[in-house]
């Protein structure tokens, strides 16, 4: 049961459209909150202590459009299988989720309406994983900062023709050839290649 302290910890008050948890909220607090979350919940932000189990418990939140799982370092690719069930998801932030691998991107393929994706600093994702982004044609904003770029990325990123914003800061393997290919993206207005290396 969700008590008053849990509600304060999770920032719950009234009918919810958005829920952000603090660093001290984990799976137990999330499970306690789920029965109280309205069908109107469209935005959920979890961090730090949430595991695959916590994300899997959220699959009842069918109206989610925005999901942030930043710095959830205990998450694995299994959690992405659950995330792929949010068919209306438009924005997904996975910044600093070190446990994710290339397979996580494969798991997310059903998210055809995804417009914004952040994989910033997901160190388990390689060039091959970036290559799996090829089918994400609805993306308008993509952050792959700190990820390695190579032939797979060079093939995939230029196919994302709706991209307006691309953050490739601090990426290794950024070549002149890749940049030339990215110049073909007609909608691209913001490209961050600061601190990149070949």
What is d(CA 153, CA 90) in angstroms, rounded to the nearest whole number? 22
Residue 13: per-residue pLDDT: 40
Instruction: Give me the pLDDT at residue 33, please.
Output: 64
How far are the Cα atoms of 62, 159, 194 from residue 96, in angstroms, in the given order? 25, 25, 19
Buried b (16+ CB within 10 A) or exposed e, 90-103: bbbbbbbbebbbbb
pLDDT of residue 4: 40
> Could you say which residues of the chain have pLDDT below 50?
1-17, 23, 38
pLDDT at residue number 31: 61
| pLDDT tens string 105-141 | 999 999 999 999 999 999 999 999 999 999 999 999 9
Sheet containing 18-20, strands listed edge to edge, beginning at the edge strand earlier in sequence: 18-20, 43-45, 66-68, 91-93, 116-118, 141-143, 165-167, 190-192
Instruction: State residue 57's pLDDT score.
Output: 86
Q: Give the pTM.
A: 0.84
pLDDT of residue 29: 65
């Amino acid at each position: 049961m969700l008590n008053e302290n849990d509600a304060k910890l999770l920032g719950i008050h009234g009918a919810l459209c958005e829920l952000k948890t603090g660093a001290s909220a984990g799976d137990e607090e999330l499970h306690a909150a789920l029965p109280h979350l309205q069908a109107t919940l469209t935005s959920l932000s979890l961090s730090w202590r949430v595991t695959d189990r916590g994300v899997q418990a959220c699959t009842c939140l069918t109206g989610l459009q925005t999901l942030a799982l930043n710095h959830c370092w205990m998450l694995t690719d299994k959690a992405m299988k659950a995330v792929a069930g949010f068919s209306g998801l438009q924005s997904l932030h996975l910044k600093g989720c070190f446990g994710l691998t290339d397979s996580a991107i494969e798991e997310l393929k059903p998210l055809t309406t995804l417009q914004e994706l952040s994989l910033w600093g997901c160190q388990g994702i390689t060039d091959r994983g970036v290559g799996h982004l090829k089918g994400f044609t609805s993306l308008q904003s993509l952050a792959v900062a700190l990820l390695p770029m190579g032939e797979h990325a060079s093939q995939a990123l230029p196919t994302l023709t709706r991209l307006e914003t691309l953050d490739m800061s601090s990426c290794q393997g950024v070549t002149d050839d890749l940049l030339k290919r990215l110049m073909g993206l007609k909608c691209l207005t913001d490209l961050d290649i600061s601190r990149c290396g070949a």
